[in-house]
A and B are shown apart, each in its own frame.
Chain A
Amino acid sequence: MKFVDEFRDTQKAQTLTKAIHAIACRLASSQTKPLQIMEFCGGHTHTIFRYGIEQMLPDSIEMVHGPGCPVCVLPMGRVDDCVTLAELPNVIFTTFGDAMRVPGSKKSLLQAKADGADIRMTYSPMDALSLARANPSKEVIFFGLGFETTMPSTALTVLQAEREGITNFSLFCNHITTVPTIKAVLDSPDMKLDGFLAPGHVAMVIGERPFDFIAKDYHKPIVVTGFEPLDILHSLWMLLQQIEQGRSEVENQYSRIVQANGNTAALEAISQVFEIREFFEWRGLGSIDHSGVRMKQAYTNFDAEKKFAVPNLKIADPKSCQCGEVVKGVIKPWDCKIFGTKCNPENPMGALMVSSEGACAAYFNNGYNEQKTA
């Protein structure tokens, strides 16, 4: 398939894997622990597992699967808020598919749907707007979540709704921001990471420059990375070269998509509709300053938080969860006390077991649950 197979070429993969092994081998003599490289984005985690990339890497490189899976980091309280909104009379609640299964403190959206709430899976916020047009007597709420990747399409939908004068559409805004979150990981006292693969589609929107501080202030190399398996290997090779040469820079492997200054039109739409929240709650990571956005005053009419009584519940993560430590690479998923036992994909307790892009679910599904007992 054109534009797909080129990025999955086995020969090229072998060449890159050899080059990675060669550098890793040269670096190994000076290492006291494996090099820990974090892929921030859940999309990268998905590719790494889907193509079995971890087994292609030398033992001296350890991938740490970061917090960039928006479904995983959704706190229980927010899911409860969604359920409350969805169960309001006369409401059609719309959401991306993989948010359906995230457990709240009482139920998931999938269970709320079974209980009778009108919840529809959509592929784009524009689908939600179409539903609003087609059902003028109903309130259509779109559950907006995701990092800067999905923010522009939500913003543009709100702007479109405003242009058309649609009054029965609103957004329950749970969009989150990448940079403050990476900063929170970097500022954590037990942080041991040696480099980052930066999220390619976030960078497509915000550009390369917002990642500069990682290289300049924290002296960690970082490579903006695409989502095909060769992209991952290529970026790892670039990252290892930086480490070997003692450089810490922002490099762009995903130059076919990402421009240094990002996408101006997308950024304009975002800043027109959204503003930074003081803080946002994350499942597994707690509250992080400036890590979420809300709708600006001018769009109150489209803001579900203003239009409806959202309880804004705070539900603490289960005490036994060690998601925070897994996300920072302090422990591996199977080192968590409840991994594969109390916490499994059927009954996820922690954030990282929730979506298939979460590190724990990915490990569990790939049979690592047996490592614990092995």
Chain B
Amino acid sequence: MNKPFNRTKFSGKKINLSHGAGGKAMQDLIDEIFVKGFASPELELLEDQARFNLSDLSKLGSRLAMTTDSYVVDPLFFPGGDIGKLAVTGTVNDLAVGGAIPLYLSCGMIIEEGFSIDDLQLIVASMKKTADEAGVRIVTGDTKVVPRGAADKLFINTAGVGVIAEQTNILASRAQVGDVVIINGFVGDHGAAIVDARGELALEMSVETDCQPLNQLIQVMLKVCPDIHCMRDATRGGLATILNEFAVQSTVAIELEQVKIPVREEVRGVCEVLGLDPLYLANEGKLVAIVPEKYAESLLDVMLKHPAGLNSAIIGKIAESPHGKVILNTGFGGKRIIDTLIGEQLPRIC
């Protein structure tokens, strides 16, 4: 792996408890790895909090949006991404799907004693790169080191702040009969990539995570269709879970066409072998939007032209009943209800 950072006095070293003890060792680590790595003016002030100018924020919209998420993925590095990229895109996307323009992130790291500082630096560089791509800044942070065994290598928490424009009103309860369901590409890539990266199956294939920031795509979408009714990113629990949330909260039915849902051949293969359903696999760069039908084609048009939406598709529509249910036309002539998962998807015996 190419290391996109310069050698420091930490190169080849491991995190020890003194790096979280508040003294010189911790200060060095923060200065060398985080402040330099994230390179944001707010962070460089080294105050206990980042400060924003309200009048600048209010130019972008009328409401603040705030969200937080914790990232504990194992393995830390996987095809197409790593925990750092995930920690930025996840929080950026949680803001963006509400129609917010994401601006600032915090970064809390809980590091297990013995963790490689080279890996930490790689992850920080990945966070910085992703933040730059998404147009957000990491402005405040926290570092804790816990004894070996008290955490698994590295956990990251990011919180994010963004601004929502006056006219935007995206709510899970706004789906209306006749609306259409749009997704911005292949489902299940991230879930399949993680199964692959765990290496338990020795699969002869490779799927990369779809981990990507969605905020720029969403801003383009809002220009064409200012009245997006519902929108969420289909992370844990996959497409099926998000659609169930919309169906329940809007008291409508959602009818999906299996043949229109984009699934990569490799992902289908993994699912066939393991008895998993791609509709429930996690994504990290997929949004599901419910929009008035009159906008559907023009919206799809701009989405298909955006790098984050190259395989976008209209996959279903909102119907009257049965309330709160997601129904899949199987493409074989039958229908089935797509329910929410009870627990984790478990591979079947035979």
> Which A residues lie at the B interface, using CB under 8 A?
1, 4, 8, 10, 13-14, 17, 43, 46, 49-56, 70-71, 96-101, 110, 121, 123, 127, 145-147, 149-150, 201, 229, 345-346, 355-357, 365-367, 370
Contacts and interface: CB of A to CB of B under 8 A. Distances in A.
B334 A145 contact: no
A13 B333 contact: yes
A141 to B, nearest CB: 17
A52 B348 contact: no
A366 B350 contact: no
B334 A150 contact: no
B113 to A, nearest CB: 22
A175 to B, nearest CB: 11
Nearest to A41: B350
B269 interface: yes
A96 B275 CA distance: 12
Smallest CB-CB A-B distances: 6 pairs: A52-B334, A97-B346, A97-B347, A367-B337, A51-B332, A52-B335
A366 B335 CA distance: 10
Contacts of A150: 349-350
B204 interface: no
A149 B183 CA distance: 39
Main secondary structure of the interface of B (DSSP, over half): loop
Given A367-B325, A367-B339, A101 B346 contact: yes
Contact of A98 (B330, B339, B342, B347): B347
A50 B336 contact: yes
A367 B268 CA distance: 25
B346 A100 contact: yes
Contacts of A370: 322
Given A1-B268, A1-B269, A123-B201, A8 B332 contact: yes
Interface string B307-333: 000000000000000100100101111
Contacts of A10: 331-333
Nearest to A362: B336
Contacts of A14: 333
27 contacts: A1-B265, A1-B269, A8-B331, A8-B332, A46-B275, A49-B336, A52-B330, A52-B334, A52-B336, A55-B334, A56-B332, A70-B349, A97-B346, A97-B347, A97-B348, A98-B346, A98-B349, A123-B200, A123-B274, A145-B349, A146-B349, A149-B350, A357-B348, A365-B337, A366-B336, A366-B339, A367-B339
Contacts, number: 92
Given A17-B333, A50-B336, A365-B339, 17 more contacts: A1-B268, A4-B268, A10-B331, A10-B333, A51-B334, A52-B333, A96-B347, A97-B347, A98-B348, A123-B201, A123-B274, A123-B347, A146-B350, A201-B350, A366-B339, A367-B325, A367-B337
A54 B334 contact: yes
A56 B269 CA distance: 26
Contacts of A17: 333
A99 B272 CA distance: 19
Contacts of A99: 349
B4 interface: no
B23 interface: no
A14 B334 CA distance: 11
A43 B342 contact: no
A53 B342 CA distance: 23
Interface residues of B, number: 27
A212 to B, nearest CB: 24
B278 to A, nearest CB: 12
A366 B336 CA distance: 6
Nearest to A345: B342
Interface of B: 200-201, 265, 268-269, 272, 274-275, 322, 325, 328, 330-337, 339, 342-343, 346-350
A357 B334 CA distance: 18
A368 to B, nearest CB: 9
A53 B331 CA distance: 11
A78 to B, nearest CB: 15
Contacts of B343: 101, 110
A56 B333 contact: yes
A356 B274 CA distance: 14
A229 B349 CA distance: 19
B58 to A, nearest CB: 46
A47 to B, nearest CB: 10
Contacts of B274: 123
B332 A52 contact: yes
A101 B201 CA distance: 21
A71 to B, nearest CB: 6
A127 B347 CA distance: 15
Contacts of B350: 43, 70, 146-147, 149-150, 201
Contacts of A55: 334-335
A70 B337 CA distance: 24
Contacts of B336: 49-52, 366
Contact of A56 (B200, B325, B334, B342): B334
A96 B348 CA distance: 7
A229 B332 contact: yes
Interface centre among B328, B332, B334, B350 (most CB of A within 10 A): B350
A101 B349 CA distance: 13
Contacts of B322: 367, 370
B243 to A, nearest CB: 14
A269 B325 CA distance: 48
A95 B331 CA distance: 34
Contacts of B272: 1, 4
A367 B338 CA distance: 9
A275 B60 CA distance: 75
A70 B332 CA distance: 28
Contacts of A51: 330, 332-334, 336
Given A1-B265, A123-B200, A53 B334 contact: yes
A54 B334 CA distance: 8
